[in-house]
Amino acid sequence: MPALKEEVVHADIDELRKYSSTDLRKLGRIPYPLIRRKGERKFSRLTWDEAMEIIANKMKQLDPKQYAFYLTSRGITNESYYVAGKV
Q: Domain residues of the chain, as ranges? A: 6-61
In DSSP terms, 34 is beta-bridged to: 45
Whole-model pTM above 0.75? no
Written as tens digits, the pLDDT of the chain (87 aa) is: 788 877 777 788 888 889 898 888 888 888 889 999 999 998 888 999 999 999 999 989 999 888 887 877 777 788 888 888 887
How far is the CA of 74 from the CAs of 31, 60, 80, 81, 83, in angstroms? 21, 30, 12, 12, 16
Q: How far apart are CA 76 and CA 7, in angstroms?
A: 30
Phi-psi group of 75: left, alpha or beta (phi > 0 → left; psi -120 to 50 → alpha; rest → beta): left
